[in-house]
Amino acid sequence: MLISLLVLALMLLILAFIFLPSLMKEDVTIVSYAASQDQQEEIKQKTMSQVQRKPSSPSSSAAKVIAANVVSPTAIPVPDLEVTEPSIDFGNGDDFGEGWGNGSGDGMGGGGTTFFRQQVSAQRICYVIDYSASMSGQRDKLMRQELEKSVAQLSVGMQFQMIFFAGPAWVAGSEVKLNAKKTGVVKFDGDEYKWKSPGNAHVWDPVGKRLKPEWISGGPSSRNKALDHVRDTPLVWGTNWENPLDMALGMDPAPQIIFFMTDGSAGPDSMKTAKSIGAKAKSKGIIINTVAMMDPKAEAGMKEMAKRTGGQFSIVRPGGKVDIIPLK
């Protein structure tokens, strides 16, 4: 009996060492994490702002929390990872494509167009185009095709005008009649404008009142009407640069770009005329782009005029090939 009791007591002692630790109750300190009221409001606002837009790449800034060493009835596990919030930098993603533009341009505003490979952007463009008899044949065909294409590219909001010239100068849409190559009459909008010459193709002067060109708005109707004038206007005898360019320079407001195209020189005074017109244009901030149509005699003066005004110079070769000539 004594041995049995001793064995039983030993077994109870062993069992006590095994089970008593699991029966002991221990108060556990819970660590909870919570953001402040201001931070919660900020996170809420940022989250709502992301609903309507695609977020950009996440930033490396993690959400900030405050740890409090207090007992909480709810145990919140602490994840062993970094929770990031999306970056909300404006325009940092692909919402607006590559950006707002490439910053290029000449500061003139308006729309753009081309003429014999010369590309421009402006609000007011004036074409001064040679409609002399020497333009007949391939030159005439190339000129009308290119002028039609250029005018058709003009956008709504732009203003333009076309001044045609030979001996006399006139606004597109005028009726022109010469008498024995010494006198001429231009009829436009119910008025008549007279011209005279000593019989020299390069010497023509207005008599009495002068025609003052007005700007045309670049809408579909006005463009279509202008295109009809380009196709239907006949060629006339003579070649005088100064009169049509003076008409263009005198427009109010002044043109920003003038396209000047001719197939011939203005006689022995071509360079003198080019320098004079170039100086007037430069003083008004007007750029003159020049185009020499298959005639090397006109190249020197036209190149000088473009260079003086900061313009471009093109040569149309026989066959229709167009070369842009550097002015440096």
* pLDDT at site 106: 43
C-alpha neighbours within 13 Å on the C-beta side of residue 287: 17
Following CA atoms 237, 323, 328, 276 in sequence, which dihedral angle do they give, to the nearest 10 degrees? 10
Q: What mean pLDDT is reported for the chain? A: 81
Task: Give the residue from 102, 36, 27, 101 showing the smallest Cα distance to 71.
Answer: 27
Q: What domains lie within the chain, and their CATH numbers?
A: 111-324 (3.40.50.410)
Find how far residue 166's CA is from the centre of its chain: 35
Which of residues 74 and 156 earns the better pLDDT score? 156
Q: How far is CA 135 from CA 148, 239, 250, 294, 297, in A?
A: 16, 10, 26, 10, 14
* Among the ranges given (94-98, 163-167, 246-250), the one the predictor scored with the smallest mean pLDDT: 94-98
C-alpha neighbours within 13 Å on the C-beta side of residue 152: 10
Span 295-315, mean pLDDT? Answer: 92
pLDDT at 85 over 80: no
Which of residues 86 and 197 earns the better pLDDT score? 197
Please give the share of the chain, as a percent, with pLDDT higher than 70.
72
* Among the ranges given (79-83, 123-127, 317-321), the one the predictor scored with the smallest mean pLDDT: 79-83
* pLDDT at site 20: 67
pLDDT tens readout for residues 144-185 = 999 999 999 999 989 999 999 999 999 999 999 999 889 999
Residue 148 has a CB neighbour count (10 Å cut-off) of 15
Reported pTM:
0.68
pLDDT tens readout for residues 206-234 = 999 999 999 999 889 999 999 999 999 99
Span 236-264, mean pLDDT? Answer: 96
Span 27-51, mean pLDDT? Answer: 47
pLDDT at 88 over 60: no
